[in-house]
Structure 1
Amino acid sequence: MSELNTESVEATDAPTLHALMRNRYGTSWLPTPNAPDTRVNDVIETLLSHRSVRAYSTQPLPADLLQTVMAAAQSASSSSNLQAWSVVAVRDADRKKRLAVYAGNQKHVAAAPLLLVFIADLSRLRRVSDVAGANTPGLDYFEAFLVAVADAAFAAQNAVVALESLGLGCCYIGGMRNKPEDVAKELGLPPEAFAVFGLTIGYPDPAVKTDVKPRLPQRVIMHLERYQQESSEALTDYDATMNAFQRLQRMAELDWTTQASRRVRGPEALSGRDRLMSALRTLGFGLK
């Protein structure tokens, strides 16, 4: 019998849709008029309850976890079935420490029992084509790189949903792009392989409470038929919602609009990723 607990929660134990939506959107959420407050299945509950987990317990991971999660990841959609991605599973403590430094000294990278690094990988397609004696100029175009990044993202999100359904916590590590050449060397990546992001994995530390972070209101993200610019009122409401969340988490209050604007203010805010295009060329990508 598998060591993984895959038993589903009884429908009567599941929270209602309204409760999950209030958690996901905070005070900015309003129910659809006359919509029933229904119960949802396990998949919807898992998705709407997602939160980033950066503090992990000492509970060991199941022996078959990696194999199961990889099967879930590989079940994601893939553009033209090219499967232009790979993953490097890192358990070695010293390697995690070095990767944590490359990723901006994020302590949870080193502390997590397992780190998965998702790779946009065109090298395998190059090797397959070489064996077949086929020309591969198509791999030198930006489209091929974009396909590889998308495939890696699809796979990773499948992995996250699977992990969270099993009671584990995860956190994406975009800092793997801070020093891509160093990460590639550490992981032994071939040319035309690039670490898109990492994913820390472990059982959440019960002593550290992590709440669901509110998202932008649906009226900001979702457009009916044609794109419509969001209202300033909607963004003001979301700033207030995020301030309430920050107070709950005992964080410094900072409007989302201010935080987002600071993050894109210029190359100095990109943690070294402003040179990503030149780094990708160094790693062997054509990017025509």
Structure 2
Amino acid sequence: MNETIKLLTSHQSIRKFTNQPVTQEQLDTIISAAQWASSSSHVQAYSIIHVTNAGMRQQISEWTGNQSYVVNSPIFLVWCADLHRLRTAYEIHENADKAYLGTAENWIVATVDAALAAQNAAIAAESLGMGIVYIGSVRNHIEGVSTLLRLPKYTSPLFGMCIGYPDQDPGQRPRLPQKAVLHHNTYQTDGMEEQILKYDQTMKDYILKRTGGKRSGTWSEDMRNKLKTPTRMDVKAYLEAQGLDVE
């Protein structure tokens, strides 16, 4: 196993950080690494908001379920899908109202571009001895976050990211068996339930150990509970108001 693969397979989400600052040079390096991620047709359809204002961080923290690390982490970034910049580029040459901009395909491209760039940033930060945690719950109040960050039309916040030096070692959550996610030539449904049940036992053992026997649960139960209640049902209307086709 080489050092790159060792780094990739040692990821753990960090939610408690030391007071050691992240320098501007280090942040620049992390963002540079993000920018070298693959991008569909070179569109680079994402933007990153570095939130330094304490009041803004506090508001976002409240909107994300009072997650203290949104306030306390040395660096807090919000990653946005961004088709607004493409509209500006189009406008240089002709009326952008003619552009097929907010299509479902372009929206997929923008979200994938943002995710690829963010993961490059995460790996870069971890290679520097830092830790990160993604904050998907910025979408709990997607319109509020968008207004707070003054996002223009054809953009949307996707997720946040806390970065800093770890002040904890929470361990790694086991991943699904590779057989459950890797298919050959065609999608394989045979044996899927068996793989899930196998993973359920792995997760049950992990939760029991991590909580000292205080809690027990399985992955399939968690997924059932997650899908049992609708969440963030306002996202579709928000995206449509931003000029993005999500039909």
Task: Indicate how the Cα distance of structure 1 residues 134 and 41 shifts in structure 2: closer, same or farther if over 3 A, else same.
Answer: farther
CA distance in 2, matches of 1:146, 1:134: 24
The residue type equivalent to 1:211 in the other structure is: G
Return the index of the structure with the highest Cα Rg: 1
Q: Could you list the per-position Cα deviations for residues 15-67 of structure 1 after superposition, in whole angstroms to 9, with x for gaps in the alignment?
A: xxxxxxxxxxxxxxxxxxxxxxxxx1111011000111111111111331111
Tell me how large the CA RMSD over aligned residues is. 1.5
**Distance in 1 (alpha carbons) for counterparts of 2:85 and 2:194:** 49
What is the aligned partner in structure 2 of residue 285 from structure 1?
244
Partner of 2:183: 223
Q: How far does the alpha carbon of each residue in 1:132-177 deviate from its partner, in whole angstroms, 9 at most, with x for none?
A: 1154431131111111111000100100111111111101111111
1:265 and 2:225 are equivalent in the alignment: no
Which consecutive segments of 4 or more residues in structure 1 shift more than 6 A? none
What secondary structure, in the 3-state scheme, does the structure 2 residue paired with 1:126 have? helix
Percent identity between the two aligned chains: 37
Q: Deviations over 1:252-277 (max 9, x none)?
A: 2211000011111131xx2xx11211
Unaligned runs of 5+ in 1: 1-39
- C-alpha distance in 2 between matches for 1:209 and 1:64: 26
Contact map agreement 1:115 1:201 (CA 8 A) in 2: yes
CA distance in 2, matches of 1:98, 1:123: 25
| Structure 2: gaps (5+ residues) | none
Contact 1:86 1:152 in 2 (8 A): yes
Aligned to 2:203: 242
TM-score (norm 2): 0.94
Is residue 75 of structure 2 the alignment partner of residue 114 of structure 1? yes
Equivalent AA in structure 2 for residue 264 of structure 1? L
Alignment TM-score, normalising by the size of structure 1: 0.81
Q: 2:219 aligns with which of 242, 249, 256?
A: 256
2:105 counterpart letter in structure 1 = E
Q: Find 1:232's aligned residue among 183, 186, 193.
A: 193
The answer to whether the 8 A contact 1:84-1:124 is kept is: yes
| Structure-1 separation of matches of 2:90 and 2:4 | 39
State the one-letter code of the partner of 1:262: N
Q: Write the distance in 2 (CA, Å) between the matches of 1:84 and 1:280.
A: 16
1:231 CA displacement: 3.3
Q: Number of paired residues?
A: 243
Residue pair 1:139, 1:286 contacting (<8 A) in 2 also: no
Give deviations 1:48-99, integer Å, cap 9, x for gaps. Answer: 0011111111111133111101110000000100111000011222211111
